[in-house]
Amino acid sequence: MTGRTRPRAERDGRVPVVKSPYHEGEQAVQRRAREGHPGWGSPMFDGVIPAGFVPFLLRQRMLVVGAVDRDGAVWASALTGPAGFAEPVGPSTLAVAAAPAPADPLHGVFAQRHDIGVLALEPQTVRRIRVNGTARQQDDGLVVRTEQVLGNCPKYLQRRLPVADAPPRTPRVVASGTGLGADQRRLVEEADTFFIASHAPGHGADASHRGGQPGFVTAAGPRRLVWPDYVGNSFYMTLGNLQLDPACGLLFWDWDRGSFLHLTGRARVDWDEHHRAGVPGALRMVEFDVERFVQVDDATALRWEFAAASPVNPPAPLRS
């Protein structure tokens, strides 16, 4: 039990959710990529939290989350707290003793039950688990009903070690708008990691990770980002959602200062082999058009120091 008030487990049982057992977006991307097979991807996973995942979840101090706001924009964010703030309280229920703060683009979204994508990431061990389903705010936290639970491989995860927490401060918005300024573009282009949230009607929300050498993301202008899509597990859960709905959200985390850069916009996959020429490891390119951004300082007290890059990171593309 943590020092915060933990959400009570809801007593009304599971609410039936009508979602497709097939993901036509994932299947379309798999056919285009000539990978996978029918049923390969999100339909393979149910909502039961395996017993082996429980200790991992209990020791986490950060969860990346993704959801759609009231205006239909998709955002990626993160919730943080002491170890134990994320607690499995049933085979398909995760209680989280945190909720999006007023400065967060997802603040208030979970007042009613709402699709959510969750990524539990442990940088020091380069392990990650995805927990997708629905969530509702209860007291000062969230109760997540899980619909898909799966472990992911450590590809493209950079190893970071936790250091002493900074003094807790109130998160505050320091910049926002529709086009990235020099400070935001520098954060993007120096990043070795970002998180992406997506959503598709009938399939719910998802939160995932992208990583590479610093410089793997290019700010092609104040409203355009481009990054390579590397070889993965062929599930195409993110690209499958984007195939059906290009709206998505990105989160760039300043690991040294505890600041978040939230972006929302629309993404498209560029399959033209000429456009990926000269980009090491790229199977295709992804273009993202920025519609809005919010930069939040003191978003979390957690601090991390870089330890090692993923051994499978391709070199970053050379900039002209």
The CATH T-level fold of domain 24-308 is Pnp Oxidase; Chain A (2.30.110)
Task: Provide the residue ranges of all domains of the chain, joining segments of one domain with +.
Answer: 24-308
The predicted pLDDT at position 318 comes to 77
- According to DSSP, residue 100 is labeled -
The predicted pLDDT at position 317 comes to 83
Q: What is the CB neighbour count within 10 angstroms for residue 92? A: 18
Q: Is residue 21 over pLDDT 90?
A: no
Question: What residue type is assigned to position 62 of the chain?
Answer: M
Residue at token pair 């199977």: 283
Mean pLDDT of the chain: 92
Identify which has the larger pLDDT, 10 or 126.
Answer: 126
Helix (H, G, I), strand (E, B) or coil at 90: strand
What is the side-by-side order of every strand in the sheet holding 93-96?
74-80, 62-68, 114-122, 127-138, 141-152, 93-96, 86-90
The predicted pLDDT at position 2 comes to 36
Q: What is the CB neighbour count within 10 angstroms for residue 304? A: 18
Mean pLDDT of 203-226: 97
Q: What is the CB neighbour count within 10 angstroms for residue 156? A: 23
How far is residue 317's CA from residue 305's CA, in Å, rounded to a whole number? 25
Give the pair of three-digit tokens for residue 116.
Answer: 């959510």
Contact between 242 and 67 (Cβ < 8 Å): no
Confidence of residue 171 (pLDDT cuts 50, 70, 90): very high
**pTM for the structure as a whole:** 0.93
Helix (H, G, I), strand (E, B) or coil at 273: helix
Contact between 106 and 53 (Cβ < 8 Å): no
Contact between 227 and 287 (Cβ < 8 Å): no
* H helical segments located in 22-116: 24-33, 54-58
Angstrom distances, CA of residue 141 to CA of 28, 97, 148: 37, 4, 20
Residue at token pair 């990431």: 121
